[in-house]
A and B are shown apart, each in its own frame.
Chain A
Amino acid sequence: MRKWECIVCGFIYDEAKGLPEEGIAAGTRWEDIPENWACPECGIAKVDFEMVLMAA
């Protein structure tokens, strides 16, 4: 499981935890998050999220 960090606001998406409150189940891979999803904290779009791979 990996973590991805929003380059604008620092929000971290942790695949292991998912975002259950947004309907994204724990264990959801980054690739499987809808393309129209946006950072819940700053609104930056997934497609140009330029997320940083934090850990393999």
Chain B
Amino acid sequence: MHPIAIIGSGLAGYNVAKELRKLDKETPLTVITADGGQFYSKPMLSNALASHKLPEAIPLNSAEQMAAQINATVRPHARVTAIEADRHRIRIGNEIISYSKLVLALGADQIRIPLAGDAADAVLSVNSLDDYARFRAAIKDRKSVVIIGAGLIGCEFANDLSAAGYKVDVIDIADQPLPRLLPPAGGALLKAKLAALGVTWHFGTGVQAVDKAGDRLQVTLANGRTVAADVVLSAVGLRPKLELAHAAGLKTRRGIVVDRHLETSAQDVYALGDCAEIEGLVLPFVMPIMHAARALAATLAGKPTAVSYPAMPVLVKTPACPTIVAPPASGAAGEWRVEQNADSVKSLFVDAAGKLLGFALNGTATAERAKLAQQLPPVLD
């Protein structure tokens, strides 16, 4: 019998494997990954400095330990080059692996905006443990970091680096941090709290160029200003990895399109996690991965199970200003109602009938997360 093959060893890939093994201990399983195959928590990369963790201390299990734990063949540093869905097989260069069912847990890439300058290729981004090790090596014994992007990852890194003593500048074309997640009052509090920690914000302007300046870098902004830094980190957003699926003729939009059973347009090929799009939703967070992993594991074990998502508030790891967001569905009709005081902003998105559709909590208001989450509609019923 051909194995179930999983491409990708992030939280999506490994959690499908772990959940499957709770239901089916026998079916051969192969995990193929371009990375080192360690099991680690990617969300923890953006607060590893504060928790005094070196990159090598972050993995919870090696590829070998994972292979033993999930009774699987794990193939680290192996890049799948083609999917031949009609023949139920994949290629790793010239090697061919046949599968019974295939799971795409490919993840996403950090979006890189095109930059001018003779040090544009020195700009780093972090979306894997290997990336993070490179970043930590680059900032070792250095003092300043420019972060491009004031979204979730940018803000988390800004907090972590600033708390660890780095001089941090953050640049974003928006006019506040977390522009897509926080209404203005919450954004203002987060901005003020991180500024008090030492973060310098540059809003309403983009980055044009990164040039060498001695052994440092000079970042030129669209508004004409320049900022000097030892290291530049780009964190402008994620883009699902689509190339492999696209080349195989699978249906893709923003992500690899899957149905409620997480099946792609090709039979016996499934996708979940940061690469997948379910009913128009691409949700690069842990909670949806866990729900998808459980449903998919049941399906793979022979009991077709549709995924559903409850309300899934997202914790933003900015200890300087604790923040939890549960954005309203895209296009939802309603308005933000904001209560605030010096150290807290509670923003509730309610419809005309007064029903809660989303929220954003900053500071002490985060204590209301559980109570408010119970009032939210499910993300995917």
Task: Point out residues on A near B: beta carbons under 8 Å.
Answer: 7-10, 19, 21-22, 38, 40-45, 47-48, 50
- Smallest CB separation, A46 vs chain B (Å): 12
Given contact pairs A22-B370, A41-B315, A50-B60, A8 touches B41 in the complex (Cβ within 8 A):
yes
- Which residues from chain A contact B44 at a C-beta distance below 8 Å? 8-10
Say whether A42 contacts B370, CB under 8 Å.
no
Within 8 Å by CB of B47, from A10, A21, A40, A50, lies A10
- Which residues from chain A contact B47 at a C-beta distance below 8 Å? 10
Q: Is B43 on the interface with A (CB-CB < 8 A)?
A: yes
A-B contact pairs, 20 of them (CB 8 A): A7-B41, A8-B43, A8-B286, A9-B43, A9-B44, A9-B286, A10-B43, A10-B44, A10-B317, A21-B370, A40-B370, A42-B286, A42-B287, A43-B287, A43-B289, A44-B290, A45-B290, A47-B22, A48-B18, A50-B60
Say whether B290 contacts A43, CB under 8 Å.
yes
Chain B residue total in the interface (Cβ 8 A): 20
| Complex Cα–Cα for A44 and B41 (A) | 11
Closest 10 CB pairs of A and B: A43-B290, A21-B370, A42-B286, A43-B287, A8-B41, A41-B315, A9-B43, A48-B18, A42-B287, A7-B60
Say whether B287 contacts A8, CB under 8 Å.
no
- Which residues from chain B contact A40 at a C-beta distance below 8 Å? 370
- Smallest CB separation, A49 vs chain B (Å): 11
Given A43-B286, A48-B18, 14 other A-B contacts at CB below 8 A? A7-B41, A8-B11, A8-B41, A8-B43, A9-B41, A10-B51, A21-B371, A41-B287, A41-B315, A42-B287, A42-B290, A43-B287, A43-B290, A50-B60
Main secondary structure of the interface of B (DSSP, over half): helix
Main secondary structure of the interface of A (DSSP, over half): loop
Among B1-54, those with CB < 8 Å from A are 11, 15, 18, 22, 41, 43-44, 47, 51
Q: Which residue of A lies closest to B371 (CB)?
A: A21
Q: Which residue of A lies closest to B15 (CB)?
A: A44
| Complex Cα–Cα for A19 and B289 (A) | 23
Q: Is B291 on the interface with A (CB-CB < 8 A)?
A: yes
Q: Residue-by-residue, is B281-302 near A (CB-CB < 8 Å gives 1, otherwise 0)?
A: 0000011011100000000000
Q: Which residue of A lies closest to B61 (CB)?
A: A50
- Which residues from chain A contact B51 at a C-beta distance below 8 Å? 10
Q: Which residue of A lies closest to B324 (CB)?
A: A41
| Complex Cα–Cα for A48 and B69 (A) | 11
Q: Which residue of A lies closest to B69 (CB)?
A: A48
| Complex Cα–Cα for A22 and B371 (A) | 9
